[in-house]
Amino acid sequence: MSEAHTHHEMSFWEKYVFSTDHKIIGFQYMFTGLFMALIGGFFVYVFRMQLAFPGIDVPGFGHVSELAYNSLVTNHGTIMIFWFAMPVLIAAFGNFLIPLMIGADDMVFPRINRLSYQIFLLSALVLIASFFVPNGGFGGSWTAYPPLSAEAQYNATPLGAPMWVIAVGLEFVAFLLGGINFITTLMNARAPGMKMYDIPIVLWMIVIASILFMCSVGPLLAGAIMLLFDQLIGTGFYNPAHGGDPLLWQHLFWFFGHPEVYVVLLPAMGIVAEIMAVFARKKLFGYKTILYSVFATGILSFVVWAHHQFIAGIDPRMANLFTVTTLIISVPIAELCFVYIATLYGASITFSTPMLWALAFMAEFLIGGVTGIFLGASGLDVYYHDTYFVVAHFHYTFVPIAIIGFYAGITYWFPKMFGRMLNEYWGKVHFWGTIIPFNFIFIPLFILGAAGQHRRISGYVHFPDLYTQDLQNLRIIATVSLIAMLAFQVVFIVNMVYSWFRGKKAEINPWKANTLEWTVPSPPPHGNFAEFPTVYRGPYEYSHPDREVDYWPQNEPGPDPAKSRK
Amino acid sequence: MAFQVPVATSRSSTGIPTSRLAVWWVLASEIVIFGGLLMSYLLFRLLHTSWGYEAAHTNPYAGGFNTFVLLTSSLFVVLAHQAAEVGDTKRSFRYIWYTIAGGGVFMLVKAYEYTSEIMHGYTMLKSVFWSFYYTATGLHGFHVLCGMVIMGIIAQDVKKGKNLHRVEAIGIYWHFVDVVWIFLFPLLYIAK
Amino acid sequence: MSEAAEHHDDHSPGRYVKIWVILLVLLAVSIIGPTLGIKWLTLITAFGIALVKAGMVCAYFMHLNIELKYIWYLLLATLLLLLVLFTGFAPDVMKPSGQRWVSTYVEPTEEEIAVHHPEEGNEGDRIEAAPH
Ligand SMILES: [Cu+2]
C-alpha cells in the first residue's frame, strides 16, 4: 500500500492545507492552538499590567478601559480553554498519536477529520473577528451568565456577545466531529493483537476525554442556541420576567463546565504517564487501577457541577449534596497521583526535559487539587467565591494541564513529529524559566484572594481596603513574574524553530520506548507503516528481568509477560 | 486530489462496522443535545401552568400527520437498507428517494404549521413556550433537512453500486430523527 | 453464529411492514386518547405510547435487537445522564419563589393566551384546562 502513496506528487495546498493526513491535521490544530495561546498570553499581559499599575498606558496596547478590561479577561479565559488547551491537548496529540500508537495508517474518517479542523479554524476566526467589531469582544466572563450575556444593554457588546456564542458553538461542533473520529478509530482500527489493556494510557485518556466532552456538551450546545436567541431575537429563555430562568444557563454551563476540566486534564495525565514510564524505565504501576480510577472520575464528574454555583442562590440542600460529591471525586484523582508516584518509586530516573515537565505537572497539579477542596466545601466557598483564591486555584490546575502538559508532550514527541532532537540545554532553561515564575504569579494571588480581593474589578484604586501598599506589592510581583514567564516562552519558540531545521537528526526510537509510534521513521511518512504491525504485549514492559535490553517493543514477536506470569 | 480510503476504516476490532459504530456515537451525542433542550422545556412545562393553554394552540392533527409521515419514511429507509443488503441497488435507490420525499412532505406540513401559527400571532416571542416550540421543532427540522441532503448524496452512490453500507448508517440516523419526533409530538402537541 | 439466522428473519420486508402497521395503530391511539379528556389517560396514551413506539423503532428499524449489547448501554447511559441533569436542575429551575426573592412573572390565564382570534376559541380538540 505504500507505493500507492508515493507516486502522486502533491502540491503545497494538498499536502499542508487541505490534507486529510492525521499528522498534518494534528499540526494544524497544534499551530492554530499555539497562535491562539499567543493572543491569550498577550491579553493576560495587558490586564495584569492594568492591575499592577492601574491607569497606565500599557506598552503595545494603551489605556485599558473597563470595557476593554472585561473583554480581555473574558477572552483570555475563553481562548486558553477552548482554543488552546483543547485543540493542543486533545486534537493535536490525539490526531498525531492515535493512528500511530494503534498501528493504523490514518483516522477512520480522514475527511471528517479535516472538516473538524476547518470548523475549528472558522470558530477561531469568528472569535478573533469579534475583537474588532464596534464596542469590541464579549466581556461577560467565559461563563457568560445571563442576563449579562443575554442583553446588550448590560454587556454593552451587541455584536461581540453573539459572535462569542457562535464561535464557542462552532468550536463545540468541531470537537464533536473530531471526538467521534477519535472514539471510533480507537475502538475499531487497532492493530491485530492489541487488546483493551494493550492500549497506551494516553490514548485511553484522550478517548475518555472525548467521550466526556461528547456527553456533557450537548445540553450546553442546546443552551447556547437558546442564549443566541435571547441575544438576537429577544426570546426569554433566561429572562425571569418572561418565565425563563437565568439559573438554567448556569446549570447547563457547569453541567458541561465541570466535566470539561477532566476533558483537558485526562490527556495531560496520559502524556505524563507515557513519559514517566519511559524515563523511569519501569513498568507503569497499576495500569488497570489507573484505568478504573479514570472511569470512576469520569462518571463522578457528571454529578459535581453545582459546586460552581454555591452562592448563586441554588437550593441549599443541593449544595450539601454537591459538596459531598465534590469531596468524593477528589479520591480517585488523589489515587491517580499516588499510583503515578508509585511508578517512580525505586526507579533510576533520567531527568530529561520531558521528564522534568512530567514531574512538574505532578507537583503543581497537586497544589491545584488540594486548594480545590477548600472551594468544594459549600460553607468555605461563601467566603472564597469570586476571589483571587479561585483564580489561583484553577490556574494551578489549568496551567499544569495546558501549558506543562503541552510542553511535556511536545518535548517528548518532538523527535517523532519533526525528525529532529530538541536542544536539551535550552529545553531545561525554558523549563526553569517557566516553572519558577509560574509559582511567583499564583502564590501571591492565593494570598490576595484570602485577603478578600474580588475577581471582577479592573483596578482597586476605588477600594481603599484592597488598595494597600502590601496588596499592591503582591500584584506587582505577580505581574512581573508573568512578564518573566512570557519572556521565557521566546526561548522555547527559538529552540523549537532552530531544532526543527538545524537540530540533531532523530533516530527512529531515541527514548527506547515500547509504543508503536517509535517503530516508524521520524517523521513518519504518509500512511505511517510500511508494513502494518501486530501487537504482542502491553506498552509498559520496561526493565523486564528476562531481557537483556531494558525495553520490549509492543510489536516484537514473542511472549506476553502479562500472560506468562499468571 | 484522489482521496484514498485508509486501511484503518476497514478494520473492525469491535465487530461492528466502522460507519455504523460512528453513527451510534453520533446518536449518543445527539441524544444529549436534544435531551438538554427537552429537559429544559420539561422543567418549565411542569412549573408553568399557563403552558398547557399555550400548547392548546398547536395543531395536533398536523403534528399527528407528520408523525405518520416520519414513521412511514422510516419504513422506506429500512426497506432501502434491506434492498441494499441483498444487492438490489435499483430498489434501494427508489426507497431512499421515497424516504427523501417523506422528509419533504414533513417539511411542507411543518412550514404550513409555522405559517398559520405566526399568522395567528403565536410567534417565537409570544411566550417562552413558543420559543421552545420553534427552537425544538426548528432543530429537529434542521436534522430532517440534513438527513435529506445526505440521503440524496448516498442515493447517487447507491445507483452506481458504491458505498452500500452507508444506507444502513443513514437509516439509523433517520430512525433517530423519527424517534425524536415521537417524543416531540406528545411534549409539544398533546400534553395540554 | 446463531444471530445470523435471526438476522435473516428480521430482514424480510413483510416483517417491517407489520411493525409499521403496529406503529400506526399506536399513533392513532395516542391521538384519540387525549380527546377523551381524562388527564391520566392522556399522559399514558401520549407518553407511554411514545416510549413503546420509540422502543419499537429502535429495536426493529435500527436493529438494536441484534446489535452488540453495549450500544444499548451507551444509549441508555446518555438517557441516565439526562435524568441526572433533570434532577439536579429541578430544585432551582422549578422554584417559583424563594426566601429573599420573588418572581415578577405572572402566569397568564387561558383567556389572555387566546385573545388573538375568535376562531381559536372553538377548537374541538382542546381538553380540560387542568391546573397543576
Ligand atoms: Cu468544577
Q: How confident is the model at residue A141 (pLDDT cuts 50, 70, 90)?
A: very high
Query: For residue A112, with 0-12 CB atoms within 10 Å meaning exposed, 13-18 middle and 19 or more buried, which class applies?
Result: middle
Quick check: A8 pLDDT over 80?
A: no
How far are the Cα atoms of B26, B28, B178, C63, C76 from residue C72, in angstroms, in the given order? 14, 10, 18, 11, 6
Higher pLDDT, C34 or A387: A387
pLDDT, position A2: 41
Residue located via cell numbers 435473516: C8
A1 assigned to some structural domain: no
Domain boundaries, chain C: 2-69
pLDDT, position B161: 86
pLDDT, position C77: 94
- Which of B5, B34, B40, B180 has the highest number of chain A CBs within 10 A, making it the mutation to test binding with A? B40
A2 assigned to some structural domain: no
A12 assigned to some structural domain: no
C neighbours by CB contacts (3+ pairs under 8 Å): A, B
B9 assigned to some structural domain: no
Domain limits at A48?
20-564
Q: What is the pLDDT of residues B141-166, one digit of tens each?
A: 999 999 999 999 999 999 998 888 89
- The total number of structural domains in chain B stands at 1
Judge if pTM exceeds 0.90.
yes
Angle at B81 between CA A188 and CA C15, to 5 degrees: 120
pLDDT, position A250: 96
Strand partners, A420: A505
pLDDT, position B2: 61
Contact status, residue B59 vs residue B112, Cβ threshold 8 Å: no
Q: What distance, in Å, lies between the first and last C-alpha atoms of chain C?
A: 54
- Separation between Cα atoms, residue A499 and residue A501, nearest integer Å: 5
What is the overall mean pLDDT for chain B?
93
pLDDT, position B147: 96
- The total number of structural domains in chain A stands at 1
A272 assigned to some structural domain: yes
Quick check: A532 pLDDT over 60?
A: yes
- Separation between Cα atoms, residue A257 and residue C61, nearest integer Å: 36
Query: For residue A464, with 0-12 CB atoms within 10 Å meaning exposed, 13-18 middle and 19 or more buried, which class applies?
Result: exposed
pLDDT, position A388: 95
Q: How confident is the model at residue A22 (pLDDT cuts 50, 70, 90)?
A: very high
- Separation between Cα atoms, residue B119 and residue A327, nearest integer Å: 54
pLDDT, position C48: 87
Q: What is the pLDDT of residues B72-90, one digit of tens each?
A: 999 999 999 999 999 899 9
SS3 of residue B123 by DSSP: coil
Out of A8-22, A46-60, A195-209, A377-391, least confident range:
A8-22
Instruction: Answer positive or negative: Cα dihedral of A418, A424, A429, A434.
Output: positive
Residue B63's CATH number: 1.20.120.80
Q: How confident is the model at residue A564 (pLDDT cuts 50, 70, 90)?
A: low
Q: Peptide bond preceding A147: is omega within 30 degrees of 0, i.e. cis?
A: yes
pLDDT, position C103: 81
Q: Which residues of A touch C (CB under 8 A)?
A: 215, 219, 240-243, 245, 247-248, 251, 255, 302-303, 305-306, 313-315, 317-318
- Separation between Cα atoms, residue C25 and residue C23, nearest integer Å: 5
pLDDT, position B91: 93
Q: What is the pLDDT of residues B23-41, one digit of tens each?
A: 999 999 999 999 999 999 9
CB contact under 8 A, C98 and A255: no
B2 assigned to some structural domain: no
Nearest C-alpha in A relative to C88: A318
Domain limits at B145?
18-190
Q: Peptide bond preceding A523: is omega within 30 degrees of 0, i.e. cis?
A: yes
Residue C52 grid cell? 413503546
Nearest C-alpha in A relative to C82: A219
**Which of A47, A43, A45 is CA-nearest to residue A66?**
A47
Among partner residues A14, A237, A243, which is closest to B48 by beta-carbon distance?
Answer: A243
Which regions in chain C score pLDDT beneath 50?
A: 1-9, 118-132
B13 assigned to some structural domain: no
pLDDT, position A1: 38
- Separation between Cα atoms, residue A142 and residue A149, nearest integer Å: 10
pLDDT, position C118: 45
What is the overall mean pLDDT for chain A?
93
pLDDT, position C4: 41
Average pLDDT over residues A285-298: 94
CB contact under 8 A, C16 and B82: yes
Angle at A270 between CA A265 and CA A273, to 5 degrees: 125
Cα(A304) to centroid(ligand 1), Å: 7
A15 assigned to some structural domain: no
CB contact under 8 A, C104 and A240: yes
Residue B189 grid cell? 402537541
**Which of A100, A87, A46 is CA-nearest to residue A532?**
A100
B120 assigned to some structural domain: yes
Q: What is the pLDDT of residues A306-359, one digit of tens each?
A: 999 998 888 888 999 999 999 999 999 999 999 999 999 988 899 999 999 999
Q: What is the pLDDT of residues A442-473, one digit of tens each?
A: 999 999 999 999 999 998 998 998 999 999 99
Quick check: B1 pLDDT over 90?
A: no
A224 assigned to some structural domain: yes
- Separation between Cα atoms, residue A230 and residue B48, nearest integer Å: 19
Q: Which residues of C fall within a CB distance of 8 Å from A215?
A: 77-78, 81
